[in-house]
Structure 1
């Protein structure tokens, strides 16, 4: 099988790294890829927003199977166009991708199928949104309705902070994604991510993870696309898992099929573990980033048959197995991220660290002859295995400390909640 992975981030490097290990794969390409993907695949420097160019490249390279990574391409309907060209594709349809592309779409689905989630209001007018805010008070959550690269969410602890977030959305900070705003009640609890594969009917549970969205230690600073993660998340007990599957995941898959927009892909549920049980925070219509990195390092099964079964509607006969270990990833980002940051700084020492227990996945990098340069905000994902979260954390930070990059920074407390529970 000849496979093409779409994307250029850490998620796509992790997917390519895992796909490259499959004996089913004869050739692997990544478009456009990064400095890490070129070590396991052939990078194709094409514009992935140009669907005709993607299809042309797939035909030119005799691609049998396309795996779409980024949310923007899911929402833009790349999967629909690739399938229309007669090429198998792992990617939800544009219609199904609204689960991530529109928060109000997902809220309406929750209303229709009695899926537990936060109470909310949706507004296309700033004055109406502010009126709702003043009636509700704080703490409260303000979300741009569309995609915002993980940054269009403000958990406001004061009315003034929420007011500023609403004005920011309607001022055009997030473009069309902020043309509508969803205001949600603040849910008390601990957040956890649950991943499943589904072909629209069959559901194959994958695993759990916990992400760290805030930029700085102690969960402080602005929201980011993710500064680190670990998997699995023991806080998601078997009882909580069964509850989430029965009341959230299964009704969603059934509901999407009943609506005539069956969901086929990876379904990533962000859940809040409240005193009343798990509640849906939001859905993502793709593998998480950085959750994908820890998942791929833990997965024992060949991922290619699983992804292909989703794309071809034959998932029901498949299972998945995992290494009996924890995985933890630390994001090394350019100083200034998620705000303004400089590109082009040199990174030393990252290319020689990979081992059986540690892999450095690249997100925003490129090679310039012998030099590795930073080209993005989130740049490297130092990912390690361990028998405990603490052991995986220690191993990951030893990797971080072996990398010489003065222009970068990272959080030093990834996994802190579970390590506190481990008593280490």
Structure 2
């Protein structure tokens, strides 16, 4: 055989051999999973990684999407904010994922936002956040302040609370949320001297003096509460110190925005019974869909003690919205799916329907729950569906702004007075 003929035969054989693998790769839809599996946020984010994997597994058993199986691509940004951006670029540019589910902290979201806009990817962000942003490439399935922080403070005001200690982890979500809450409380007649604000680093553990300061702040004779935007593993020593200093919910109730069933697994909850959390879902919600979800989760984890929480429900909603939008668009192409997503409705786990709004936020009920001895929450208040607001009307810089990603506005920060699309702050 001539050398040229031999080479042609080898190349043809190699091409034929490679074809099944190429076809197999083309026959899947890659789904990015961008959650911290190590570092300070692993206590919260690891469960969300498994939630996405469970949902992918369930969808594949139904036949996948558009006749193709879903293929997860899992990366670990390790609670490192610059690494989030690096891993996001890897998912989009190297792995060619069609969608990503990921992030917890707002600083992680802000780290990846320019990457998703530059490379035109889709990110579903499943955790409560501060608003003051709207990206054409991000779909926010967690609560905005008017779906969590504001209703939580309203609940406290209804209970006669007059002084507020705003304790948070030192990053963008607590700082922006507390800035908004300060403005809201003042608008409700609360004196500025009756608002205490304190920030601590991620993974902070030495709470003794801060809890003592809060107790002193609460000793004025006015009924006082703590509003907590403490995030990640710092919650465990915080609640332990409350118990050490005999802080009871009758004396000084704490309402948390980042503590759910997952975080309470690491805490002796007996001294915490009666403290509060504000979310849009609790495992204790009594609906058939929720019971089915809980059982599926326990089966997937092979753990009868596995718990569900709010960001898991937000992931569930976002995943089902994405599947429905892809089927509606008939493609995984970003622009087509993004357009199809607006107006999509899927069931939540509380008995209602979640709808994707033109501002890329969704509709959610607001639930206030009391911690129980078993680490679950007794629901003491539940609202009707509330539409998420990207921009707060209580801050002067955003009171005239809205987000609307439909024509003719098609803008994430539209000034309704000037009638112009502004750059985001």
State the TM-score, normalizing by the size of structure 2.
Answer: 0.38
Structure showing the higher helix proportion among its residues: 2
Structure of higher CA gyration radius: 2
Q: TM-score, normalised by structure 1?
A: 0.38
